[in-house]
Amino acid sequence: MRIVVCVKQILDPRGLTVNRKSEKVFVNREEYRLDPASRAALQVAAAVKAAQTASNGANPPEIIALSLGPDRVDDALREAMAFGADRAILLNDPAFETADAFVAANALAAAIRKMGEFDLIVVGARSLDSGSGELGARLAEALEVPAALNAVSVEATPDGLSVVREFGEMFIRLDAPLPLVLSVVPEAFEPGYANGWRLMDAYKKWTVDVWSAADLGLADVDVQSMAVRREDAFPPERQLGTRMKDARELVAALKRERVI
């Protein structure tokens, strides 16, 4: 069994300051981290691997961490290995520098096809930075496999996975056969930490493979971004309300405003 986890490195928001007046985001400290949704995806993959290993110990699943980006993403992939990935592949090419979700999904899907067989693709439902939430659906389309999106609970079953997913204001339980693309909602999973021993090995012993656009056999049309960045938009600042002394004052105010 092969599990591929697509991970993303993001600019750590703790190093950012937003100035609403000048409508600018200042980067005080340029530090990068593994996206929380990617970490949840890795944890889900590790849990599926543990369950599969328990039931079929002779042939434990392999987890491959896959990411797209510049050299610095190497750190995110090594951290992914500390979270349990057995190996890691970085898609690094100047052609990917301006990649939007379309290009990213094309490149990742091409890399997954190049690996050969796969049973499960796990991605974060929404990254903390752009948060477009498109990757899971786009990958499923590109790889022509079913998708279980926005999962809040995942259990391995003999036939595949049992998934509870968000669906509007409801939840739906799916019995999902493999192969499958699964996207996970990070908030639904208890955050964990990288394993310190594996983290040291990830830097001292293990390597990250690097594949270029040429390795993936991508055509020009596959790496042409469709999204264009026009400007940064800042939502209006929320004004603090007026604190009411008690319910009586609140009711009076609501009546005055003709709400009730």
Grouping H, G, I as helix, E, B as strand and the rest as coil, residue 251 is: helix
Sequence length of the chain is: 260
Q: Provide the mask over 9-28, with x wherever binding to other proteins is found by CB under 8 A and - wherever it is not.
A: --------------------
Grouping H, G, I as helix, E, B as strand and the rest as coil, residue 119 is: coil
Q: Which of 16, 47, 60, 75 binds other proteins (CB under 8 A)?
A: 75
Q: How far is the CB of 93 from other proteins (least distance, A)?
A: 22
Q: How far is the CB of 67 from other proteins (least distance, A)?
A: 16
Question: Applying CB under 8 A, does 193 fall inside the site for other proteins?
Answer: yes
CA 251 vs CA 139, 242, 243, 245, 248: distances in Å: 52, 13, 13, 11, 5
Q: How far is the CB of 82 from other proteins (least distance, A)?
A: 8
167: β partners: 170
CB closer to other proteins out of 31 and 159: 31
Q: Which of 28, 57, 170, 204 binds other proteins (CB under 8 A)?
A: 204
Q: Which two tokens stand for residue 16?
A: 């950012």
Q: Which two tokens stand for residue 198?
A: 């594996």
Q: How far is the CB of 17 from other proteins (least distance, A)?
A: 11
Question: Applying CB under 8 A, does 197 fall inside the site for other proteins?
Answer: yes
CB closer to other proteins out of 78 and 138: 78
Q: Which of 18, 200, 250, 254 binds other proteins (CB under 8 A)?
A: 200
Q: Which two tokens stand for residue 233?
A: 């938009």
Q: How far is the CB of 191 from other proteins (least distance, A)?
A: 7
Among residues 61, 60, 101, the alpha carbon closest in space to that of 183 is found at 101
Place of tokens 């938009």: 233
CB closer to other proteins out of 182 and 202: 202
Question: Applying CB under 8 A, does 35 fall inside the site for other proteins?
Answer: no
Q: How far is the CB of 204 from other proteins (least distance, A)?
A: 6
Peptide bond into 179 cis (omega under 30): yes
CA 225 vs CA 41, 70, 83, 105, 132: distances in Å: 25, 17, 31, 11, 15
Q: Rule CB under 8 A: which of 79-98 touch other proteins?
A: 79, 82
Q: Identity (one letter) of the amino acid at 12?
A: D
CB closer to other proteins out of 195 and 225: 195
d(Cα 164, Cα 150) in Å, to the nearest integer? Answer: 9
CB closer to other proteins out of 79 and 119: 79
Q: What is the DSSP letter of 106?
A: H
Where along the sequence are the contacts to other proteins (CB under 8 A)? 33, 75, 78-79, 82, 191, 193-197, 199-200, 202-204
